[in-house]
Amino acid sequence: MDTVDLRGRTRSRPPGPAPLGTELSVGRANAPGFTLIEVMMVTAILAIVLGGTTAYLVSMSDSISSEMSQSVLEINGTRTLSTLVDRLADGFVSSPTPGAGSDLASSFIQIKQPADWMGGGDLTNEIEAGNIFGVRAPWGDESGYVEYRFVAHPDAARATVSEVTLDYDINGDGDKDTVFVRGLLVREWNGTSRAPVARNLLWDVLQVETSPGNYGGDIDGDGTDDPIFHMAAGSKRLTMSVWLYGRDGRRHIIHNARTSVALRNQP
């Protein structure tokens, strides 16, 4: 094969393959692509970037999920307490009856309200009898009362939420030794014409036992008890406070809903 040198002269190369390495070295220098080191460097950089992005997305997802769970608990608690305010305002607490100078603090209350329990279509008969209070039940007005109380979850496996077992500081008080009782708030009508009728008002309510079967202990770890119902001695204002429990998949969440109502007929 003839070639032309830089001076324009034609030179002949002996027939046969080119010297070993000549064409290979020329091909390697002109071929597009990256070296192995360059590929490894780019891969490492991409791994760092993707790792940071993934961590950010996971954190954002957890935050959104937590806020949604908190919102659900807040809505449920606020709606239930608002209903109680409307239903209790014209009643009075008939039980428990605290001693003189003592606060009412309990996980249950019994309420009596103005009711046409003697019949007649108004309260005339009740006023003449000197007792206008009874229960306004779904089936009609009767002598009796309506009770609101906390009961433990009917499924024993779900009735206990233990920080010890979960190894999780649920109430954020800096330890993991609180054992909560998980249950629900129930409304029960007690009249004279039939057996008591109960309906569930609110699920996933938390309480802490002060003794077996008695509730109202410290939930948030601040050193004071947290009963559902509280009324200061000599007051007509009933405070209602419910602690609700939920999960967002990764974390345990509690939320406190609280309100109060002035009982117009409280002695």
Enter the tokens of residue 261.
């109502």
Measured distance CA(239)–CA(225) in Å, rounded: 14
Give CA–CA dist 233/197, Å, rounded: 31
Quick check: pTM over 0.85? no
What does the alpha-carbon distance between residue 201 and residue 58 come to, in Å, rounded to a whole number?
35
Quote the pLDDT of residue 25: 47
| pLDDT attached to residue 77 | 94
Q: What is the spatial distance between Cα 224 and Cα 215, in angstroms, rounded to a whole number?
A: 13
What is the rounded average pLDDT of the residues 13-26?
Answer: 53
Map residue 161 onto helix, strand or coil: strand
Render pLDDT for 184-195 as a digit per residue (tens, 0 to 9). 999 999 999 999
